[in-house]
Amino acid sequence: MLIEILQQTINGLAIGGVYVLIALGLTTVFGILGIAHFAHGSISMFGGYLTYFLATSQGLPVLAAIPVALVAGILLGMLVEILAYRPVRNANHINAFIVALGLTMMVEGINLQLFGHEQVVIPTGLSRVFRLGGITVPELRLYVIVAAIVLVVAMMIFVERTKTGQAIRAVAENRDAAILMGVNVRTIPLIVFGMSTALGVAAGIMVGALFAIAPGIGEGLVVKGFAVLILGGLGSFPGAILGGTVLGITESIAAGFISSAYKDVIAFVVMILVLLIRPQGLLGRAP
């Protein structure tokens, strides 16, 4: 029993890491621009597809394909900010909402056109399995967990310890005051979209390596991402990290002990229960 719980917790940490990366991107964009960036999942999956394409059709080693996809993600994120969201920056919020929905359909369509409708798995060749007591840890899962932790720590250091990172926080907390500090509020959204999309692409690659990428996966992931934001507390980085980890582990334990067919149901039931007790989310502040 205990072994099984530990086993499912390890499994859950890997998928939880994916949720955390998606949720951190969504929460940063939401904090800066007040936009629910629905296309985030589909763009993340584009990054996963791209890695697959480079690693198979182009014959690149996966470890070389990943940085290329991450850089592509940064550029793509910036492009999305300039072309899709910047024009509606000062318009009614419903406009950005509609742009986000339209963008999601567009990117899903582009993914379908470019990469087809077959599900793909990024070939990592990592098939060793570590055994610790009664727990088995496939090396791929371990690397995914480590990579997620490294990315989250790197992002926290960037936000807390660099001038640009602090400017991002400042704009999220008080846009006018940030202007008075000399922050250029036109370049900050560019940086935020670049960073968020790179994190999303990393999550897309992880999904592609751990499971598979197929049409519709990205949309499901973005719904989970927003669920994590609400679970952790809107606008809170530690909340997104805790929320994503909790959701991943809950899903995994539910799949292991009850049925994988019900894992989403159980995960959302847990979320609803948390919100009944703490409407502001796990680490959110009471209004």
Partner 1 sequence: MLSVRDLKVSYGGIEVVHGVSLDVAAGECVALIGANGAGKSSTLKAICGLVPASGGSISFEGNDITRASGHAIVRAGITMCPEGRQVFPQMSVIQNLRMGAYTRTDPEQEADLSRMMDMFPILRERQSQAAGKLSGGEQEMLAIARALMARPRICLFDEPSLGLAPKIVASVFETLARIKAMGVTILLVEQNSMMALNLADRAYLFEAGRIVMEGAAGALKNHPDVMRAYLGH
State the residues that interact with partner 1 by CB under 8 A: 163, 166-167, 169-170, 173-174, 176-185
Q: What SS3 class is residue 206?
A: helix
Report, in Å, the least distance between residue 146 CB and partner 1. 29
Q: Which CB sits closer to partner 1, 82 or 142?
A: 82
For partner 1, give the closer residue by CB, 59 or 182.
182
CB of 81 to partner 1, least distance (A): 18
Which two structure tokens, joined as six digits, stand for 119?
A: 């599900």
Contact predicate 130/141, CB 8 Å: no
* Cβ at position 85, least distance to partner 1 in Å: 19
Q: Which is nearer to partner 1, 179 or 258 (CB)?
A: 179
Query: Closest CB to partner 1 among 184 and 260?
Result: 184
Token digits for 118?
């077959």
Which is closer to partner 1, CB of 174 or CB of 260? 174
Strand 129-132, strand 135-138: pairing = antiparallel
Q: How far is the CB of 158 from partner 1 (least distance, A)?
A: 14
Quick one: 81 or 108, whose CB is closer to partner 1? 81
Q: Give the span between the Cα atoms of 56 and 82, in whole angstroms.
A: 31
DSSP of 227-285: HHHHHH-TT-HHHHHHHHHHHHHHHHHHHHHT-GGGHHHHHHHHHHHHHHH-TT-SSPP
Q: Can you read off the two tokens belonging to residue 145?
A: 């967990």
Residue length of the chain: 287
Q: Give min distance, CB of 40 to partner 1, in A.
A: 23
Helices 2-33, 163-173: axis angle to 10 degrees equals 80
Q: Tokens 């009944």 sit at which residue? A: 276
Smallest gap from Cβ 99 to partner 1, in A, equals 24
Q: In the chain, what is the straight-line distance between the N-terminal and C-terminal CA atoms, in Å? A: 40
| Secondary structure element (H or E) that encloses residue 128, with its range | none
How many angstroms from the chain centroid is the CA of residue 194?
Answer: 13
Map residue 59 onto helix, strand or coil.
coil
**Based on CB atoms, which residue is closest to partner 1, 148 or 188?**
188
